[in-house]
Chains A and B, each alone.
Chain A
Amino acid sequence: MLEIRDLVCSYGKVMALKGVSLSVAKGQLVALIGANGAGKTTTLRAISGLLKPRSGQITFNGHDITQAPARKVLSLGIACCPEGRRVFPHLTVKENLEMGCYLRTNRVEITKDMDKIFEQFPRLAERRAQEAGTLSGGEQQMLAIGRALMSRPTLVLFDEPSLGLAPNLVERTFEIIKNIRDLGTTVLMVEQNALAALEMCDHAYLLESGSLALEGSGRQLLDDPHVREAYLGG
Chain B
Amino acid sequence: MAEFLQHLVNALVLGGTYALLGIGLTLIFGIMRIVNFTHGELFAFGAYFVYLFAMLLGFNFFIAFAIAVVGGCLLGAAIEFILLRPLRGADIETTMLVTIGAWIIMQNTELLVWGGVAKAITTPFPETPLVIGAISVSPLRVFVLVIALVLIGGTYALIHRTKLGMGMRATFQDSETAELMGLNIRGIYTATFSIGSGLAAAAGALLGPVFLAAPTMGDLASLKAFAIVILGGLGNITGATIGGFLLAIIEELGAGYISSGYRDAMGFLIIIAVLLVKPTGLFARAERIG
Contact = CB atoms under 8 A, between A and B. Distances in A.
B167 interface: yes
Please classify how large the interface on chain A is, using the bins under 10, 10 to 19, 20 to 34, 35 or more: 20 to 34
B166 A86 contact: no
B135 to A, nearest CB: 40
Contacts of A50: 176, 179-180
A125 interface: no
B276 interface: no
A147 B183 CA distance: 14
A86 B182 contact: no
Interface in A151-195: 151
A100 B180 CA distance: 9
B170 A70 contact: no
A106 B187 CA distance: 22
A89 B169 CA distance: 10
B166 to A, nearest CB: 6
Interface stretch (A74-82, A202-210, A216-224): A74-82
A90 B166 CA distance: 10
Contacts of B288: 90
A67 interface: no
Contact of A48 (B173, B180, B184): B180
For A50, A75, A88, the residue with the greatest tally of chain B CB atoms inside 10 Å of its CB is A88
Interface residues of B, number: 20
Interface in A57-94: 70-71, 74-75, 80, 82, 86, 88-91
Where chain B touches its partner, the secondary structure class is helix
A99 B167 CA distance: 7
Contacts of A102: 163, 167, 181-183
A90 B170 CA distance: 8
B182 A88 contact: no
A88 B174 contact: yes
For B166, B174, B180, B288, the residue with the greatest tally of chain A CB atoms inside 10 Å of its CB is B180
B173 A70 contact: no
A113 interface: no
B180 A90 contact: no
Given A86-B174, A90-B288, A95 B166 contact: yes
Contacts of A48: 180
Contact of A103 (B176, B177, B182, B289): B182
B178 interface: yes
Given A90-B288, A91-B169, A99-B170, A151 B182 contact: yes
B290 interface: yes
A98 interface: yes
B85 to A, nearest CB: 15
B177 A88 contact: yes
Contact of A74 (B167, B174, B182, B290): B182
Interface in B159-210: 163, 166-167, 169-170, 173-174, 176-184
A74 B173 contact: no
Contacts of A70: 179-180, 182
A207 B169 CA distance: 37
Nearest to A95: B166
Nearest to B177: A86
A99 B181 contact: yes
A89 B182 CA distance: 18
Contacts of A147: 181
Nearest to A79: B180
A121 to B, nearest CB: 19
A90 B182 contact: no
Contacts of A99: 166-167, 170, 178, 181
Contacts of B169: 88, 90-91
Interface string A33-55: 00000000000000010100000
11 contacts: A48-B180, A50-B179, A70-B179, A70-B182, A71-B179, A82-B177, A86-B176, A88-B173, A90-B289, A102-B167, A102-B182
Nearest 10 A/B pairs, CB to CB = A71-B182, A103-B182, A74-B182, A86-B177, A88-B173, A99-B181, A70-B179, A90-B288, A88-B170, A102-B181
